[in-house]
Amino acid sequence: MKDLEKSVFWKKNSKLIYLITAIALLAIWRPHAILYGIQRGSLYSLIGLPLSLTLGVVGIMNLAHGDFLSLGIYISYLFFVNLGVDPLLSIVPVTLILFGLGVLVYKLTITRVQKSGHLNQLLLTFGISMILVESLNVIWTSRPRNIYVPYASSSMTIANFTFGTYELLYVLFAFAVLMGFQLFLKKTRLGQATYAVGQNPRGAKIVGINIGFVYLVVFGVSIAILGIVAGVMLPRSSIFPMVGAPYTMRSFCLVAMAGLGNLPGILVSGIVLGIAEAIVQSIPGYSGWSDLVFFGVLIAVISIRSMRRLAL
> Would you call 306 exposed, middle or buried from its count of C-beta atoms within 10 A (0-12, 13-18, 19+)?
exposed
Binders of other proteins in range 110-129 (CB under 8 A):
112-113, 116, 118-120, 122-124, 126-129
Q: Give the span between the Cα atoms of 220 and 50, in whole angstroms.
A: 10
Please tell me whether residue 104 binds other proteins under the rule CB under 8 A.
no
C-alpha distances out from residue 222 to 65, 78, 262, Å: 9, 22, 16
Structural contact between residues 241 and 1, judged by C-beta atoms closer than 8 angstroms:
no
Strand partners, 157: 162
Which one of 9-17, 84-92, 151-159, 302-310 is the stretch in contact with other proteins (CB under 8 A)?
A: 302-310
Which one of 46-54, 81-89, 162-170, 295-303 is the stretch in contact with other proteins (CB under 8 A)?
A: 295-303
Q: Give the span between the Cα atoms of 101 and 110, in whole angstroms.
A: 13
C-beta of 105 vs 225, nearer to other proteins: 105
Cβ at position 281, least distance to other proteins in Å: 12
Please tell me whether residue 12 binds other proteins under the rule CB under 8 A.
no
Cβ at position 244, least distance to other proteins in Å: 14
C-beta of 10 vs 289, nearer to other proteins: 289
Applying CB under 8 A, the site for other proteins has a residue count of 41
C-beta of 146 vs 306, nearer to other proteins: 306
Cβ at position 178, least distance to other proteins in Å: 23
End-to-end Cα, the chain, rounded Å: 37
Output the CA torsion sign for 26, 27, 29, 31: positive
Among 95, 91, 102, smallest CA distance to 64 is for 102
C-beta of 191 vs 201, nearer to other proteins: 201
Please tell me whether residue 312 binds other proteins under the rule CB under 8 A.
yes
Binders of other proteins in range 255-284 (CB under 8 A):
256
Q: Are strands 161-164 and 155-158 parallel, antiparallel or unpaired?
A: antiparallel
Region of 154 (left: φ > 0; alpha: ψ -120 to 50; beta: rest) is beta
Which residues of this chain interact with other proteins, rule CB under 8 A?
Answer: 61, 63, 109, 112-113, 116, 118-120, 122-124, 126-131, 134-135, 137-138, 246, 249, 252, 256, 288-289, 291-292, 295, 298-299, 302-303, 305-307, 309-310, 312
